[in-house]
Amino acid sequence: MKKVDVILGLQWGDEGKGKVVDVLTPNYEVVARFQGGPNAGHTLEFGGEKYVLRSIPSGIFQGGKTNIIGGGVVLDAILFRAEAEELAKSGHDLTRQLAISKKAHLILPTHRILDAALEAAKGSAKIGTTGKGIGPTYTDKVSRSGMRVGDLLSPDFERIYAAAKARHERMLRSLNYEYDITELERQWFEAVEYLKRFRILDSEYFINEALTEGKSVLAEGAQGTLLDVDFGSYPFVTSSNTVCAGACTGLGVAPKNIGEVYGIFKAYCTRVGSGPFPTELFDETGDALCRIGHEFGAVTGRKRRCGWLDLVALKYSIMINGVTQLIMMKSDVMNDFETIRVATAYEIGGERTEHFPYTITDDLRPVYTDFEGWRCDLRGCRSYDEFPEAFRRYVEFIERETGVPVKIISVGPDRAETIVR
């Protein structure tokens, strides 16, 4: 029996999960997204083309694989349709390669409106969500009043929808939120019909049977560990379990059947939306990371906040997920930096700690270790031995500190710009 390998983000999302899933897919027969929804934006580049995936797994471009939208995902039929039709235009017919779990929850038009209304009501305490209805949809799931993809096949579908909509409208009235749902609702009903073209299945059986038959499965996470609803920088988090345990609940895989856990991180840090960020830079270096790294949200276009690599947070994420292999992205962005800093501890109220704290307060100061920059273009390197010594020192320091090997190093957005050790 094979095990499921999991790939997930160790920071605040946008680490480069899409690129790495695409690179690793040739080794797998099934790729399955286990949580999140169209708040994700996973970018892939190859053959001079660039694609951004939101709900469709990033294994879709490596032909002949089965890609599954798992039960832990929340699906917006309108955005899914737009994404699938865009791929169809570029010659990728998904109907045979993609299957959707009956247990995935549906994002309703009113969930999107509620997301906006709840954010507006929070005022300056807003989370800075992607506005895709993620929080309200997961709230309905947990409060046992959600709608699932499997309900599409039920004769009661319209009745279940009407009850959910009426409940949401009562909430929107109490929030005094003005909206017009007519056009969105029309599109949504058309889009849920479109969904029925795809294979809708009990994905937990599909995946477990695949494992028993000796097929290999890769689970693709969305967001990052520091956005996890339980272990992230709460309340500035998303509404799902982005950690490895989320692959078990999102796909119906037993913990003993998890194999490798690939943890992805950028050689620096970014965050989009509100919430604490200990190593954030507000100076020219932060601007340079943003500019050179093209750090603008793939979904919302928002400027991502940038800062130095934070080893306190990284070690915390490795611990929570049981990471077995590290994957380091975007080191090339710092090619011309003279000095590169890494936070190795925090000082909170004068006390030093290496633990990621319950809340991150204004008196937290990162303690940095400085590295000499490598001052050369990593994008040309195609093996670990070709990397300059200063860069190898940086990588080996991270390995020593975390106790986990860095097995893949990405030095550019293209598939080909990937070094496997």
User: Which positions lie near ligand GDP, rule CB under 6 A?
Assistant: 9, 13-19, 40-43, 45, 294, 298, 329-330, 332-333, 410-413
| Nearest Cα to Cα of residue 244 among 3, 22, 1 | 3
Question: Which of 42, 105, 111, 168 is labelled catalytic?
Answer: 42
Q: Are 133 and 108 in contact (CB under 8 A)?
A: yes
Residue 6 in the binding site for ligand IMO (CB under 6 A): no
Those residues whose C-beta lies under 8 Å from the C-beta of residue 331, and which sit 6 or more positions away, are: 267, 378, 391, 394, 409, 410, 411
Site string for ligand IMO, 223-242 (x = CB under 6 A): xx--x----------xx---
- The length of the chain is 421
**Residue 391: CB minimum distance to Mg ion, A:** 25
Q: CB–CB of 244/35 below 8 Å?
A: no
List phi, psi (to 5°) of 323: -65, 135
Closest distance to ligand GDP from the beta carbon of 280 (Å): 18
Nearer to ligand GDP (CB atom), residue 246 or residue 366: 246
Residue 41 engages Mg ion in binding (rule: CB under 5 A): yes
Q: In the 8-state DSSP scheme, what is residue 303?
A: B
One-letter amino acid at 301 equals G
The pairing of beta strand 351-353 with beta strand 364-372: unpaired
Is residue 14 part of the contact set for ligand IMO (CB under 6 A)?
A: yes
Residues in 35-94 at the binding interface with ligand IMO, rule: CB under 6 A: 36, 39-42
By C-beta, is 81 or 266 nearer to ligand GDP? 266
Within a 13 Å sphere around the CA of 275, how many CA atoms are in the beta-carbon half?
A: 20
User: Which span (9-17, 56-64, 261-269, 375-383) binds ligand IMO, by CB under 6 A?
Assistant: 9-17
**Both tokens of residue 194?**
């479109």
Minimum Å gap between C-beta 136 and ligand IMO is: 9
Our finding on whether 200 is near ligand IMO (CB under 6 A) is no
By C-alpha distance, which of 8, 12, 25 is closest to 62? 25
Does residue 281 touch ligand IMO according to CB under 6 A? no
User: CA dihedral defined by 415, 130, 228, 258, rounded to 10 degrees?
Assistant: -40
Contact flags string 9-38 toward Mg ion, x per CB under 5 A: -----x------------------------
Q: Is 111 a catalytic residue?
A: no
29 in Cβ contact with 210 (< 8 Å): yes
Burial group, residue 5, by CB count within 10 angstroms (0-12, 13-18, 19+) = buried
Smallest distance, ligand IMO to C-beta of residue 15, A = 7
CA dist 292 and 417 (Å) reads 16
Q: Could you give the CA distance from residue 30 to residue 57 in angstroms, rounded to a whole number?
A: 10
Which residue among the candidates 5, 14, 76, 228 is catalytic per the annotation? 14
List the one residue from 9, 250, 366, 412 that touches ligand IMO (CB under 6 A): 9
Which two tokens mark 112?
Answer: 């999107």
Min dist CB 13 to ligand IMO, Å, is 3
Q: Is the peptide bond before 235 cis (omega within 30 degrees of 0)?
A: yes
Q: Does the annotation count 168 as an active-site position?
A: no
- Residue 412 binding result from Mg ion, ligand GDP, ligand IMO, none, given CB thresholds of 5 to 8 Å by partner type: ligand GDP
Whole-number minimum distance, CB 238 to ligand IMO, in Å?
3
Binding residues for ligand IMO, per CB under 6 A?
9, 12-14, 36, 39-42, 127-130, 132, 134-135, 222-224, 227, 238-239, 272-273
Catalytically annotated residues: 14, 42
Binding residues for Mg ion, per CB under 5 A?
14, 41, 298
